[in-house]
Structure 1
Amino acid sequence: MKKDQLYITIIQSHLHWENPEANRTMFEEKIRDVINKTDLIVLPEMFTTGFTMNAEPNAEEETGLTVSWLKKLAKEKNCAITGSIIVKDNGLFYNRLYFITAEEAVETYTKKHTFTLAGEHKTYTAGQNKVIIDYKGWRICPLVCYDLRFPVWARNTEDYDLLLYVANWPEKRITAWDTLLKARAIENMSYCVGVNRVGLDGNGHNYIGHSAAYDVLGEHVSTQDYETEFVETIALSKKHIEDNRSHLQFLNDRDVFNLE
Structure 2
Amino acid sequence: MKIAAIQMVSGANLQRNLDIAGQLLAQAAAQGAELAVLPEYFCLMGEHDTDKLKIQETCGSGPIQDFLSRCARDLGLWIVGGTLPISTTAAERVRNSSLVFDATGQCVARYDKIHLFRFDNGVECYDEARVLEAGTQAVTFDLASCDGNTYRIGLSICYDLRFPELYRQLAADVLLVPSAFTFTTGQTHWEVLLRARAIENLAYVIAAAQGGVHDNRRRTWGHSMMIDPWGQILAQQAGGPAVIVAEVTQEFLQSARARLPALNHTVLGA
Q: Same fold (TM over 0.5)?
A: yes
Matches of 2:3 and 2:131, distance apart in 1 = 32
Q: Distance in 1 between matches of 2:143 and 2:260?
A: 26
| Partner residue, 1:190 | 203
Stretch deviating more after TM superposition (45-54 or 233-242): 45-54
Distance in 2 (alpha carbons) for counterparts of 1:103 and 1:89: 27
- Structure 2 SS opposite 1:213: strand
The residue aligned with 1:89 is 88
Letter in 1 for 2:16: A
1:111–1:255 distance in 2 versus 1, CA, 3 Å: farther
Deviation at residue 247 of structure 1 after TM alignment: 2.3
Q: Distance in 1 between matches of 2:162 and 2:26?
A: 33
Shift of 1:122: 2.3
SS in 2 for 1:212: strand
1:46-98 CA-to-partner distances (Å, cap 9, x unmatched) read 11112752132121221211111111110111111111111113344110001
1:124 is aligned, of 100, 117, 132, to: 132
Distance in 2, Cα, partners of 1:79 & 1:177? 28
User: Does 1:167 pair with 2:166?
Assistant: no
Distance (Å, rounded) in 1 between the aligned partners of 2:2 and 2:27:
16
Task: After TM superposition, give the deviation of residue 27 of structure 1 in Å.
Answer: 1.1
1:206 counterpart letter in structure 2:
R
* 2:256 alignment partner AA: N
Aligned match of 2:147: none
Separation in structure 2 between the aligned mates of residue 13 and residue 189 of structure 1, nearest angstrom = 28
What amino acid does structure 1 have at the position aligned with 2:9? H
Give the corresponding residue for 1:141: 154
Q: Which amino acid aligns with 2:113?
A: K
1:124 and 1:234 map into 2 onto residues whose CA distance is: 32
2:251 corresponding residue in structure 1: 239
Unaligned runs of 5+ in 2: 120-125, 145-149
- 1:151-180 alpha-carbon deviations (Å, 9 max, x no partner): 11221x453100110010011111201110
CA distance in 2, matches of 1:244, 1:26: 37
- More moved, 134-143 vs 249-258: 249-258
| SS of 1:221 mapped into structure 2 | strand
Alpha-carbon distance in structure 2 between the residues aligned to 1:250 and 1:41 = 29
When normalised by structure 2's length, the TM-score is 0.87
Distance 2:103 2:71 in 1: 8
The CA distance in 2 between the partners of 1:103 and 1:161, in whole Å, is 23
Asked if the contact 1:185–1:214 (Cα under 8 Å) also holds between the matched residues in 2, the reply is yes
- Say which of 2, 18, 34 aligns to 1:7: 2
Whole-angstrom CA distance in 2 between matches of 1:158 and 1:232: 24
Equivalent residue for 1:250? Answer: 262
The gaps in structure 1 that reach 5 residues or longer are 1-5
Q: How far apart are residue 105 of structure 1 and its match?
A: 2.9
Compared CA separation, residues 158 and 147, structure 1 to 2 (3 A): closer
> Separation in 1 of the partners of 2:22 and 2:158?
23
Change (3 A) 1:33 1:243: closer
Displacement of 1:256: 4.5
**Greater Cα offset, 64-73 or 44-53:** 44-53
TM-aligned CA deviation for residue 115 of structure 1:
1.1
**Contact map agreement 1:190 1:216 (CA 8 A) in 2:** yes
Any idea what SS the aligned residue of 1:75 has? helix
Paired residue type of 1:132 = T
For 2:202 and 2:163, the matched residues in 1 are separated by 16
Aligned-pair CA distance for 1:140 = 0.5
> How many angstroms apart in 2 are the aligned matches of 1:167 and 1:121?
17
Q: Percent identity?
A: 26
* 1:202 positional shift: 4.1
- Aligned mate of 1:29, from 14, 23, 26: 23
Matched residue, 1:3: none
Distance 1:110 1:14 in 2: 22
Matches of residues 200-211 of structure 1 in structure 2 within 5 Å? 200-211=213-224
How many angstroms does 1:119 deviate by?
1.7
